[in-house]
Amino acid sequence: MAFELVIFDCDGVLVDSEVISCRAHAEILTRYGYAITADQVLVRFLGMSDREARIIIENEIDRRLPDDFEMEVKRATLQRYASDLRAISHVGEAIAALDLPKCVASSGTPEKIRHGLTCVGLHQQFAPNIYSASQVERGKPAPDLFLFAAEQMRTAPERCLVIEDSIPGIKGARAAGMTVLGFHGGSHCPAGHAATLRTAGAAMTFGDMGNCRISSNVALAPAERRPSS
């Protein structure tokens, strides 16, 4: 398969933000009576939008969270970005080496994505081709966001290569008919995360953006392949 577009997730793939976001999310949820740790947020909601996570939580507690819940989580997260956020190691060089069109498809809000990429100096490498789950009806693991990004970039889904770090992201990309690579080099990724991503459907996995070499016929070195069935 010859690829014509590379679609990057943002959090955990371009910016090392998942730990920061999970701490903010846990802090706000606990404040509203849903006691949860940052590690538990990571395990349960990695890759989901705040909207999707909210629906799950409200169904569990059988009541609505405050109308400005997502705004509070976003505000707490962005406050931490200025001092704590870093780009994924070597990702700038990997992006610069691409010989294919590229875009971002993230579960984050447009403001969060823009702010995060700007903080680490990557925004101009993608703008204006940055797409958010807020632009579609269903977030990951539904395929909507990936299909929307492909449509905006005028590329057939089967010609898209996705780089993701979460199970919902892997499943969403696969449901969209795209090939997906699993990245497990973020600070939030536990031991064994590569195998988890391969089990979810990643065609290959890698943990170092410095070894990322993507062209129309994808190549990664080194890479771990999904076991054949």
Please report where in the chains the tokens 């846990």 appear, as a residue.
26
Mean pLDDT, to the nearest integer, of 18-22?
89
Q: Is pLDDT at 1 greater than 70 in this prediction?
A: no
**Average of pLDDT values for 144-163?**
98
Q: Quote the pLDDT of residue 18.
A: 84
Residue 220 pLDDT > 60: no
| pLDDT higher than threshold 90 for residue 167 | yes
Average pLDDT in the 198-217 region?
86
Q: What is the pLDDT of residue 229?
A: 45
Q: So what's the pLDDT on residue 92?
A: 94
- Above 80 in pLDDT, residue 11? yes
pLDDT digits (tens, 9 = 90+) for 84-139: 999 999 999 999 989 899 999 999 889 999 999 999 999 999 999 999 999 999 99
- Specify the pLDDT at position 148: 98
pLDDT score for 46: 85
pLDDT on residue 2 = 85
Supply φ then ψ for residue 11, to 5 degrees.
-65, 120
pLDDT at 223 over 60: no
Can you list the domains of the chain with their CATH numbers? Answer: 5-16+86-225 (3.40.50.1000), 18-84 (1.10.150.240)
Residue 217: pLDDT over 90: no
- pTM of whole model > 0.85? no
Residue 203 and residue 24: Cα distance in Å, rounded?
Answer: 32
pLDDT the model gives residue 141: 95
Q: What's the pLDDT band for 218 if we cut at 50, 70, 90?
A: low
The DSSP output letter for 135 is G
Phi, psi for residue 190 in degrees, rounded to 5: -80, 170
Give the tens place of pLDDT for each residue, 42-66. 889 988 888 888 999 999 999 999 9
Query: Is 222 a residue whose pLDDT tops 90?
Result: no
pLDDT value, residue 79: 87
How many degrees, rounded to 5, is the angle at CA 173 between CA 74 and CA 217?
Answer: 120
- Give percent above pLDDT 90 in the chain: 73
Q: Choose among 138, 139, 137, 112: nearest CA to 46.
A: 139
